[in-house]
Structure 1
Amino acid sequence: MATDYYNIFLLWERPVIVFALLVFPLGVAVLYPIYWGRRREMYPPCRGWIPWLGCAVQFGKAPLDFIEESRRKLGPVFTLKVAGKRLTFVTEPEDFDCFFGSDCVDFQKAVQLPVRNTASISEESFFETHQNVHDTIKGELAPPRLQKLCAKLNVKFAQQLTKWGKVGRSDLMSLVRRSMYVSILDTLFGEHVLPTSNQEAYLEFEAHFVRYDDQFEHGTELPEIFLREWSRSKKWLLRLFAAVVNTEEKQTRLDETLLHAIIKTVDRPHAPNYALLMVWAALANAIPITFWVLVFIYSDQTILAELMEELEQVIGGRGKDLTDLHITQDDLQKLPKLKWCVLEAVRLRGAGVITRQVTRSFTLRGYTIPSGDMLMLSPYWAHRNERVFPDANCFLPSRWENADLSKNQFLKGFLSFGGGRYQCPGRWFGLMEIQLFVAMVIYKYNITMMGPVPDVVSTCF
């Protein structure tokens, strides 16, 4: 016993041991509440246990299907760990206001890196000019300006649609793409500013842009070394837009276009980059949606007959040449069933996911959503919520009769154009151009579909 007391006495003579014995209880007293507090925080249920990779492999195979599978397993709020990122999904309509309106989330920070990767726009330039670019596009494509833009598109669409011929068999997407690409580019950029008049030059542009668009989703995340062909097309397009900007700066135009407004808004070194991004925004969504509208309409003879009757009441019976057909913005307002078809196609074939970055932790449904997470919302699945859209998987244009479209009010729960401060700035122009193109096609052509309506591909964008 005396020896034990002696050993303890010797321990107290060692400063390091004395320090440790004094500090350890103090450390426990300070850190335990912090640790316990963190343990008490409830984070959303999570999938993806593999370090860094998470569930990227399963997610990448069929993103939309995997999102819905995760919702069923984990509940209305859940997190997917994908390639070093935490993607936290909200899936119930009651929580969407938080996604769009919370001051704890940020749209610009969510999209800055994808913008840099796909258009080579620096972080500094993006944050300095993004809001001004958004507001410029919103102003240039606002409803009061649509009458003039509609008249230009009417002429351009007529020129392109006459090239379809009278009888034939072709790929509908290719026909729509070529007709709309040329028309929209000439309208928003100026007559032949881009290579739309020379067949060989245009085909080269189309090939590069289609490749750029097809792999755009991968380009937002993957290094260009893994996307060599995509990177080559991106650089080709940037060189083209650099030459366009250089030429247009020296021109004096009485009728300036959206391109010229953008050039004046952004810093000069990045003007070609913003021009590329603007063209992508103008073409990437409008063309596929137009294709789907036509597919849905021509696959349902009852709907087609109703639209034909509506068209005849507004612009007269068939017989006019397309170059003599003048459909105004006012005429389009008198074609509600056509607009219902467009919006219903947008509902069914709109964006897969939209995102915000969490800048400050907040609580949702009892879960702590930590700062740094990417907050995700899937319009694709939100539009298939049977509580909001009965018979959600069916193409039912008549459901839009309940929307007050005369006041530009969509159905509750419709999210394809986003929400909040940075709602899609070109949505009214986009709806107008699709309505106009579809009206002209229906007026002029009898189309027979060679197969059933194709299934949608499971992608996020």
Structure 2
Amino acid sequence: MEFISPAVIIILGCVTLLLFLQWKNLRGPPCIGGWIPWIGAGFEFGKAPLEFIEKARIKYGPIFTVLAMGTRMTFVTEEEGMNVFLKSKEVNFELAVQNPVYRTASIPKNIFLKLHEKLYVMMKGKMGTFNLYQFTGQLTEELHKQLENLGTHGTMDLNNLVRHLLYPVTVNVLFKKGLFPTNERKIREFHQHFQAYDEGFEYGSQLPERLLRNWSKSKNWLLALFEKNIPDIKTYKSAKDHSQTIMQDILDLLEMETNEQMSPNYGLLLLWASLSNAVPVTFWTLAFILSHPNIHRTILEGISSVFGTTDVEPPLHS
């Protein structure tokens, strides 16, 4: 009887396992991993995520999976694939966002699942097509104030300009009028922490918080800001019509469901959801308008036909 060494048995076992995993993954997208268990492609992905994703798209096609830090992340990079994904009956939004919501806002899964449907119905009713007009006056008033504070002279990076306009407007309209700081130091502090939180959101939604010290610091700063101001937000009354803000409606629902301790966490989630897309959309819209003089002129004519003309001609370039 021939003797087979333990080393050979181990090697054969590993080869068999690899072949099995490859066979098992034939129906799935290509999977990019690594030689180190759990970490996978985490180091390479973490160095330059966008570059890593683009190289993977070129090499493996529009749909691929990345194994990093114990997490499988499947990327869909073309419009056709996104349409198929979003229309699939197998996709469950609530289940899909449980972990990201827990990591980024520290809202436990059981509480998120319990409240999500009720919050969705409330938000849809408050900000639906037929009620959205109610925010127009508040937004216009707040925007005018911010524009007046900027003055009529000087230059500013367009991205910073958009943030300087939208941050205070959003906070004052959705949470409580006057909540956004007016002190220059505190304004810079808010900008610094929200921008760090926003830019690191994708990493924070997937990776352990202990690996993202700066992002975690900004997240906790924002949570502390809301925790400090929740009492004032709850008692705030509009001087004009005593209408409630979106955050006040959320607080009422949390109180009904005996989950008031989650108020700062839902405040952080609302803040991110309201600004994460608004800032880049506004930036690129303005960049497009300012880059096309004819479109810029047409828009100014339309504004003048409603609000009248002004002696100050806005510049065509930012």
Contact between 2:291 and 2:316, CA under 8 Å: does it hold in 1? no
Residue 119 (structure 1) aligns with: 105
1:61, CA displacement in angstroms? 4.1
Residue 359 (structure 1) aligns with: none
* Aligned pair partner of 1:258 in 239, 246, 264: 246
How many residues were matched structurally? 290
1:62, CA displacement in angstroms? 4.1
* Aligned pair partner of 1:315 in 287, 306, 312: 306
Residue 3 (structure 2) aligns with: none
Q: Which has the larger radius of gyration?
A: 1
Residue 188 (structure 1) aligns with: 174
1:276, CA displacement in angstroms? 1.1
- Deviations for 1:225-261, whole angstroms, at most 9, x for unmatched residues? 3333332332222222123222333556621110111
How far apart, CA to CA, are the structure 2 residues paired with 1:49 and 1:207? 35
Alignment of 1:102 with 2:88, yes or no, is yes
Name the aligned partner's letter for residue 306 of structure 1. Answer: T
1:215, CA displacement in angstroms? 2.5
How far apart, CA to CA, are the structure 2 residues paired with 1:39 and 1:129? 37
* Aligned pair partner of 1:222 in 189, 207, 210: 207
How far apart, CA to CA, are the structure 1 residues paired with 2:200 and 2:50? 17
Residue 295 (structure 1) aligns with: 287
Name the aligned partner's letter for residue 244 of structure 2. Answer: E
How far apart, CA to CA, are the structure 1 residues paired with 2:49 and 2:214? 24
Contact between 2:102 and 2:108, CA under 8 Å: does it hold in 1? yes
1:140, CA displacement in angstroms? 1.5
- Secondary structure of the corresponding residue to residue 178 of structure 1: helix
- TM-score (norm. length: structure 1): 0.56
- CA gap of 1:91–1:181, structure 2 versus 1, over 3 A, is closer
* Aligned pair partner of 1:208 in 193, 198, 222: 193
Contact between 2:71 and 2:206, CA under 8 Å: does it hold in 1? no
Long gaps (5+) in structure 1: 1-34, 321-442, 450-461
Name the aligned partner's letter for residue 104 of structure 1. Answer: E
Name the aligned partner's letter for residue 446 of structure 1. Answer: P
Contact between 1:195 and 1:201, CA under 8 Å: does it hold in 2? no
Residue 147 (structure 2) aligns with: 161
* Aligned pair partner of 2:260 in 268, 279, 282: 268
- CA gap of 1:238–1:72, structure 2 versus 1, over 3 A, is closer
- Secondary structure of the corresponding residue to residue 144 of structure 1: coil
1:295, CA displacement in angstroms? 1.9
Contact between 2:40 and 2:67, CA under 8 Å: does it hold in 1? yes
Residue 445 (structure 1) aligns with: 314
Provide the aligned C-alpha RMSD in A: 2.9
- Secondary structure of the corresponding residue to residue 225 of structure 2: helix
Contact between 1:119 and 1:276, CA under 8 Å: does it hold in 2? yes
* Aligned pair partner of 2:29 in 16, 19, 44: 44
Alignment of 1:83 with 2:50, yes or no, is no
- Secondary structure of the corresponding residue to residue 143 of structure 1: coil
* Aligned pair partner of 1:56 in 39, 42, 46: 42
Residue 283 (structure 1) aligns with: 275
1:93, CA displacement in angstroms? 4.7
- Secondary structure of the corresponding residue to residue 318 of structure 1: coil
How far apart, CA to CA, are the structure 1 residues paired with 2:141 and 2:83? 41
How far apart, CA to CA, are the structure 1 residues paired with 2:161 and 2:100? 30
How far apart, CA to CA, are the structure 1 residues paired with 2:33 and 2:217? 34
How far apart, CA to CA, are the structure 2 residues paired with 1:268 and 1:160? 32
Residue 140 (structure 1) aligns with: 126
Contact between 1:186 and 1:196, CA under 8 Å: does it hold in 2? no
Map 1:165-176 → 2, pairs under 5 A: 165-176=151-162
- TM-score (norm. length: structure 2): 0.78
How far apart, CA to CA, are the structure 2 residues paired with 1:138 and 1:39? 42
- CA gap of 1:446–1:221, structure 2 versus 1, over 3 A, is same
How far apart, CA to CA, are the structure 1 residues paired with 2:25 and 2:314? 65
Residue 9 (structure 2) aligns with: none
- CA gap of 1:91–1:280, structure 2 versus 1, over 3 A, is closer
1:39, CA displacement in angstroms? 5.9
* Aligned pair partner of 1:179 in 165, 187, 202: 165
Contact between 2:293 and 2:316, CA under 8 Å: does it hold in 1? no
Identical counterparts, % of pairs? 38
Higher relative contact order (CA 8 A, sep 6+): 1
How far apart, CA to CA, are the structure 1 residues paired with 2:41 and 2:227? 40
How far apart, CA to CA, are the structure 1 residues paired with 2:293 and 2:230? 47
1:160, CA displacement in angstroms? 0.8
How far apart, CA to CA, are the structure 2 residues paired with 1:201 and 1:64? 32
How far apart, CA to CA, are the structure 2 residues paired with 1:84 and 1:299? 45
How far apart, CA to CA, are the structure 1 residues paired with 2:82 and 2:205? 25
* Aligned pair partner of 2:223 in 238, 241, 259: 238
